[in-house]
Amino acid sequence: MGEAIVITSGKGGVGKTTTSANIGTALALLGKKVCLVDTDIGLRNLDVVMGLENRIIYDLCDVAEGRCRLNQALVKDKRFDELYMLPAAQTKDKNAVSPEQVRDIILELKKEYEYIIIDCPAGIEQGFKNAIAGADKAIVVTTPENAAVRDADRIIGLLESSEIESPKLVVNRIRPNMVKTGDMLDIEDVLQVLNIDLIGIVPDDEYVIKAANSGEPTVMNPDSRAAIAYRNIARRILGDTVPLMHLDQKKGMFSKFKKLFGMG
Amino acid sequence: MAVKSNHVTIKGIKDGLVFLLDDECEYEELLGELRYKLEHSHQNILTGPIIHVDVKMGSRRITEDQKQNMLDILKQKGNLLIRSVEFPASEPEQVPVYAIMSGMVRSGQVLHHDGDLLFLGDVNPGGSILCTGDIYILGALRGMAHAGVEGNEEAIIAASHFAPTQLRIAEQISRPPDEWETRETSMEFAFLQNGAMQIDKISNIVRLRRDFNVFKGV
């Protein structure tokens, strides 16, 4: 029996889909059998980020309404044999499926796959309820901004009152330089308010945008700092203890030497 | 001369009668028995010249209405002149009792409570805590707190980390000035003074004229 993890945030544009795609791909990279599920009906993006848009034949709604079998709707990834995606419908809206239907589909997937990563739409309405219906665990994504933290807090409250066990936090798009100058909330500020376990921090990385546009998840590029961060998160999901990334790593050789000789 | 019974005991004294009323049975039961005794037994002492009566309620607390009910029964006998009714004086000074709750009030959540509340945990921005009495927060107050929601202007709000988005006491609403966030880290509380919201250190809480149990040392 696999484990279903919902990636959610409340606020839009903080990186749910990117996080879903990258955690899913990173888990596949670590040899796990993974299925990504897009529940953002009407505004699907996960297929675009994964570069699988042109392979979609059936979608989540077709499965829910019995127009096809679950296996027919799954899209196999082009890079990994053990990575699949269940796309959302683009022509309908969130009310096209019910939480019970989604729960049944997730239960079905859990028999086949070790990890099911559910990409949740923004908001707290029907789409959110659909997305969390079948999930065992939740990862809440936020950025170091007050508005995102506020919405994450709301989502955590809703998750805590559902059956999902203690949600984990990803702080996305951190800019170390802005944190240092005090212009951006630092991780401690965010954690103090949200008060849940941190499962990863992801630095802001231009490569993520480039990767999303080319349909190639960031994790595939080992030079990207965001990629390392996502790989670390995947390892923590598997239960490894991986220390948090040092954000101010981008120092020149000279400062490294200085530190080595105790002058830094 | 003493007449023994279950709940109502009538005793004769030098200048009248004493009604000793049991203080543990149901009040209705007691009245029933009293009525029965007056109407059906002891006719020899209950009819005749005017007798002074003292009623002793033991430790039973009764309301005005209940007292009146009992007096009405006694007055049915024209010759009984009620001299005194003895029952525990005003309620003893009550030690305030606080409900204790813990957890987190997150954005969008509302915690309602009737009475005073000691809350162990944080109230986050977007979350609210509403009480008819005082609010004491052992934790951070970053959201909205409303004490005395039903109009109690004596209510106060205290928090270990005082950084509310808004404070309300009774009908007063106050938006803290921006510099509050960076105030000293001691525990603070808010109260109303002449209808205006005031903030002070928790150690000055005794200066409020409210009857807290003040510790004065030896």
What does the domain layout of chain B look like in residue ranges? 2-86, 99-207
CATH number given to B99-207: 2.160.20.70
Closest residue of A to B107, CA-based? Answer: A154
Nearest CB to A154; choose among B106, B122, B142: B106
Q: What range defines the domain where residue A27 resides?
A: 3-260
Region of poorest pLDDT, from A114-128, A236-250, B68-82: B68-82
CA-based radius of gyration for chain B: 27
Q: Which CATH number characterizes residue A219's domain? A: 3.40.50.300
Q: Are B141 and B162 in contact (CB under 8 A)?
A: yes
Amino acid B2: pLDDT: 45
Q: What are the residues facing B51 on neighbouring strands?
A: B80
Amino acid B1: pLDDT: 41
d(CA B137, CA B164): 12
> To the nearest 10°, the Cα dihedral for A50, A52, A58, A63?
-20
Residue A260 has pLDDT above 50, yes or no: yes
- Tell me the residue type at B200: D
Amino acid B3: pLDDT: 46
Q: What is the ipTM, given to two decimal places?
A: 0.79
| Tens-digit pLDDT profile for residues A143-160 | 999 999 999 999 999 999
**% of chain A beyond a pLDDT of 70:** 94
A238's CB contacts (< 8 A; 6+ apart) are A27, A30, A32
Nearest CB to B126; choose among A154, A158, A195: A154
Average pLDDT of adjacent 10-residue blocks, chain B of 218 residues: 63 83 82 82 71 82 80 79 76 68 94 94 95 95 94 93 92 76 72 88 81 70
B163 close to A (CB below 8 A):
no
A210 close to B (CB below 8 A):
no
B151 close to A (CB below 8 A):
no
Question: Tokens at residue B158, please?
Answer: 């205290």
Q: Are B37 and B45 in contact (CB under 8 A)?
A: no
d(CA A107, CA A117): 13
Higher pLDDT, A60 or B213: A60
Q: Are B101 and B117 in contact (CB under 8 A)?
A: yes
Amino acid B175: pLDDT: 85
d(CA B126, CA B104): 12
Region of poorest pLDDT, from A19-28, A219-228, B15-24, B205-214: B205-214
Mean pLDDT over all residues of chain A?
A: 92
Which residues, numbered 76 to 135 in chain A, qualify as contacts with chain B under a Cβ-Cβ cut-off of 8 Å? none
Q: Do B107 and A160 touch (CB under 8 A)?
A: no
Higher pLDDT, A89 or B56: A89
C-alpha atoms less than 13 angstroms from C-alpha of B86 in its C-beta half-sphere: 11
d(CA B56, CA B38): 16
Higher pLDDT, A239 or B45: A239
- Structural domain count of chain A: 1
Query: Residue A47 to residues A61, A198, B14, B24: CA-CA distances in angstroms?
Result: 15, 27, 102, 76
